[in-house]
Amino acid sequence: MSFNNVPVVHDGALRTPIDYTSIQTHPVIREAIGILEAQLFKREASLTSSLAVREYLRLQLASEPLEVFAIVFLDNHHGVIAYEPLFRGSISGAAIYPRAVVRRAIEHNCSAVIFAHNHPSGDTEPSRADRDATTRLKAALDLVDVRVLDHFIIGKGTPLSFAEEGYL
């Protein structure tokens, strides 16, 4: 049995299929993201709640079927300038280019950034490659006076914060 070309498991009860790879298009999820964006992206307000950032990033990245590396660009008062998914990869990694990160930071004229990426496996433990990439990006951004405030890994459960874990 299928519903709009989506297979449905039938056990006698009518079920509404859920396409988890496109959950961000669900109206309730889009509305939640919109509410968080409105709170985070107020130009006159500064970013003071890591919980709001964590939840926003979880809504943006948790349902991605492949690894996505994104950046939140911040002004000198930690006001959000932009959220931008910058690199997309495979189920096990994404190539991250410091030159492109520095270029986008300069184009946004930001003072600080927050990195985030998802682990499609659901495991939020940072790999050696995750820690090395963060170190390289931080060094590159230091050259242009852009601070790295945090790096979140999104997976199952609570997103991991590099800052809270002492990796930054």
How confident is the model at residue 63, as a pLDDT?
Answer: 87
Query: What is the model's pTM?
Result: 0.74
Mean pLDDT to the nearest integer, 136-140: 98
- Please say if the pLDDT value at position 19 is more than 60: no
How confident is the model at residue 33, as a pLDDT?
Answer: 67
How confident is the model at residue 93, as a pLDDT?
Answer: 84
166 Rama sector, left if φ>0, alpha if ψ -120 to 50, beta otherwise = left
As a whole number, the mean pLDDT across the chain is 82
Give the tens place of pLDDT for each residue, 28-85: 766 776 666 666 665 544 556 778 888 889 989 998 999 999 999 999 988 889 999 9
Give the tens place of pLDDT for each residue, 121-137: 999 999 999 999 999 99
> How many other C-beta atoms are found inside a 10 Å radius of the C-beta of residue 58?
19
Listing from the earlier edge strand, what are the strands of the sheet with 80-88? 80-88, 68-74, 112-118, 147-154, 160-161
- Please say if the pLDDT value at position 18 is more than 90: no
CATH number of 2-165: 3.40.140.10
Q: Which residue has the higher pLDDT, 18 or 99?
A: 99
- pLDDT-above-70 percentage for the chain: 73
How confident is the model at residue 97, as a pLDDT?
Answer: 95
With 0-12 / 13-18 / 19 or more C-beta atoms within 10 angstroms meaning exposed / middle / buried, residue 146 is: buried
